[in-house]
Structure 1
Amino acid sequence: MKKSWSARMAAVVLGASFALGAHAQQEIRIGVLYPLTGPGASVGAELRSALELAADIINNGAPGIPDLPFSAGKGLPNLKGAKIKLVFADHQANPQTGATEAERLITQEKVVALVGAYNSAVTATASQIAERAGIPFLNPESSSASLTQRNFKWFFRTTPHDDLFVHNAFDFLKELEAKKGIKAGVVASLNENGLWGTETTKLQTKLAPEFKQNLVKQVMYPAKTTQLTSEVQTLKAASPNLVLQSSYTADAILSIKTYKELGFSPDMILANNAGFTDTDFIKTLGKDADYIITREVWALDLANRNPLIKQVNDLFNSRYKINFTGNSSRTFTGLMVMADAINRAGSTEPEAIRKSLAATDIPGSKLIMPWKGVKFDATGQNTLGQGILVQIMGGKYNTVWPFDMASREVTWPMPKWDQRK
């Protein structure tokens, strides 16, 4: 009788676990699954750099940053100084490729855990493979709310999800009117049509009437489109004051170029992170990126509240000549959380790592994120994360909400394209 796929995978995982257990002091292989080529390559490169920095700190320390976990260096102390070995896989922003690569990492590369995968649609398929194989999967960045609604046992997510993020946007608009006297006016949305954008659209549809916002038009476009002319013309015809937008890097850049070309100039664009917080966004668009507000989970100007933010960002910048973004800071944090769990488990056995992840309780003072900490609920969702909003001004991200955390006042409305200097 042939063994089932699940049985074969379990045998592979068990063998890998025993093999790694015998050599724990040497190497712990963690699979990391990200878009290293294709439309997400630019953000993938930043996420890879963040992972490499985290692994280097875990393995070799970070002198001068004593409040950062593993800063004393020399590997995982509860595993006799075992070093983290990152095994990279490129999913090319393709869900099927992500699933195939996840299986390869587990069966051929013998990883004891997976971290990834940025794109929500890829995280969905890759984590299914990990779930069937009984391998811990930690997701630092994907925000589709449904990912932690699948009753998975092996899936953990450190970032807040879109239910919270979209709520944040509407909370902001409500407070903007109540505290600043600024009304959003007529609202429209432009979202990519993958899992992330589709779920965001549904949430916006649900929340707009609850928050008494006049959402008149919702436009969706193919996630890998190379032109947005018809979609922007549709938006322009609706004459919105505010555009809510969810786009990855290439299409976020394309949309702003198309807005300018077609003379579409709403009072404000309120974006849902992703492409709008990729370093390439400001680098490519220059001054045309200014004034946009985007939800975030990290900002350098919050260092006045948490010194770790500047200390670790300085280290990142010295090596890679870029600052952290909301994307890369979450990826860095994800690997640190996984390493913490493996160290507390004192084992590379998957079930021990899973139990350790479930028991995670890291205070905000040990993170570079402006969160209360990391603590997972029964679904694998971190309950202590939170979102912020930033506005791009002078090529920099400035925290503007929550208002009590703001480093500058909101500038609203944006100047029209022909009125910008």
Structure 2
Amino acid sequence: MTTSLSYAETEIKVGVLYPLTGAAAASGVEEKAAAELAAAIINREIPAPPGLVAGIGLPNLKGAKLKLVFGDHQTNPQVGATEAERLITQEHVVALLGCYLSNVTATASQVAERYGIPFLNGSSSSTPLTQRGFKWFFRTSPHDELFVANFFDFFKDLETKKGIKIKTLGLFNENTLWGTETTKLETRLADEQGYSITEKIIYPAKTTEMTAEVQRLKAADPDVVLQSSYLGDALLSMKTYKEQGFTPRMLLANDTGFIDSEFLKTLGHDADFVLSRDVWSLDLGDRFPLIRLVNDLIRQRNNINFTGSSAREFTAVAVIADAINRAGSTDPEAIRKALAATDIPGQGTIMPWKGIRFDTTGQNVLGSGIIVQVQNAQYVTVWPLDIATHDIALPAPAGTKH
């Protein structure tokens, strides 16, 4: 499929697939707001903070504007594939972004691969997505293999620098592509590094009942519960922990539902002491000034803060615009080649990363993870220790209820 830009055109269409309805809609709506902010900066509708890559705009496209065309995949992989095809064949987008959920990204990107359209993924972390040999797929976010390895690096730091020894783990993960792949990684690394798994639970995503699963975790009594849940499941698990009188000595979540804005809005102080891996945190704004400056813009525009997911989606829009601008064309092959040649320094983004540079599989090799903790009903950075803004509050004080 070939698309070339006539400079009489005023819009360059990029398709964006998010869950705008359904179980993950709260996340999708915030990601949409982040993507729209990035487009507004690229199109010079909002002044950009100095140094932000998105602020470069599209000067090589002679005044053309970036137009984001959204599709709602409803958390359904087949709907995601159908929407991807619609955006390509009916809206004639020159690239696709999305889809937050790894299992939807898997199907939608297959469609893009078939049509020869660049697909840039911002926030799906399932490792196999960049192991399929695809030519047109790129991912800016780190993947779960790195994130899960971070968990075990964190445990080592707790022991050597904080005197907190972790021996036993309980795995509690949902059963889509993301959760099942995370379980495999956690199991392998626990075995390699000498940790005992006292319970392993893979529960049905979007379940409405977790009592039996939480009772099993309570009986196993691991030092750490490692949990992978989207928002609805994360909230249900916290409610069930409280009902069953189970306060994990440490709950370390794999991002997603536990860093969604609605998680803290719903739970407040009941979320205190929960840990989660993440990629972005507002409290890093003193060290990385663009974090705070651009967060101020989304606060003014949408009355929300970025999350790790929405910050990555903002970044994905900036990266695709940078590639289109360097390509100087809307030809998909030219955009793909420009994506492959991407080399953006970290200080040009809102992420606390070294930068964005893709390897031959399409994976960004300069991304990294952090671990945040809810303290006093706010997320704060507690790892890596060299950039932490707060000490880890462990163990949770006796009598604390989740």
Secondary structure of 1:143's partner?
coil
Residue 328 (structure 1) shift: 0.4
**Distance in 2 separating the partners of 1:415 and 1:214:** 25
Q: How many matched pairs?
A: 402
Determine the C-alpha separation between the residues in 2 that align with 1:382 and 1:419: 40
Q: Secondary structure at the match of 2:246?
A: coil
2:49 is matched with 65
Q: Give the Å deviation of 1:71.
A: 2.6
* 1:22 pairs with 2:43: no
With over 3 angstroms needed to count, the CA separation of the structure-2 counterparts of 1:265 and 1:25, relative to structure 1, is same
1:16-415 correspondence runs (5 A): 17-18=3-4, 21-23=5-7, 25-63=9-47, 65-71=49-55, 75-415=57-397
Shift, 1:64, TM fit: 5.9
Deviation at 1:420, TM superposition (A): 5.2
Q: TM-score, normalised by structure 1?
A: 0.93
**1:209 positional shift:** 2.1
Mapped contact 1:241–1:267 kept (Cα < 8 A)? yes
Query: What do residues 166-225 of structure 1 show as CA deviations (whole Å, max 9, x unaligned)?
Result: 000011001110111101232101000000000000001100022222222110111111
Q: For 2:37 and 2:245, locate their aligned partners in 1 and report how far apart those are by CA, in whole Å.
A: 42
Distance 2:31 2:60 in 1: 27
SS at 2:52's partner residue?
Answer: coil
Task: Report the counterpart of residue 7 of structure 1 in structure 2.
Answer: none
Moved over 3 A (4+): 418-421
Measured after TM superposition, the shift of residue 242 of structure 1 is 1.1
Q: Which runs of 5+ in 1 are unaligned?
A: 1-9
**Structure 2 letter corresponding to 1:78:** N
Matched residue of 1:39: which SS? Answer: coil
Unaligned 5+ runs, structure 2: none
> Residues of 1 paired with 2:331 and 2:207: CA distance?
43
* Structure-2-length-normalised TM-score: 0.98
Distance 1:290 1:419 in 2: 9
Contact kept in structure 1, 2:15 and 2:87, CA below 8 Å: yes
Shift of 1:82: 1.0
Which protein, 1 or 2, shows the higher relative CO under an 8 Å CA cutoff with sep ≥ 6? 2
Q: 1:53 and 1:275 mapped to 2: Cα distance?
A: 23
CA distance in 1, matches of 2:364, 2:85: 26
Query: Could you tell me how far 1:23 is from its partner in structure 2?
Result: 4.4
Output the amino acid matched with 1:207: L
| SS at structure 2 position matched to 1:71 | helix
Query: Mean Cα displacement is larger for which, 381-390 or 23-32?
Result: 23-32
Q: Give the drift of 1:69.
A: 2.1
The 1:263/1:24 distance shift into structure 2, 3 A limit, reads farther
Amino acid at match of 2:75: A
CA shift, 1:384, in A, is 0.1
Amino acid at match of 1:227: E
For residues 303 and 284 of structure 1, what CA distance do their matches in structure 2 show?
25
Q: Deviations over 1:226-256 (max 9, x none)?
A: 1111111111121212100000011001100
Bigger helix share: 1
Report if aligned partners of 1:68, 1:366 keep a CA contact under 8 Å in 2. Answer: yes
Q: Shift of the alpha carbon at 1:24?
A: 6.1
Aligned residues: CA RMSD: 1.3
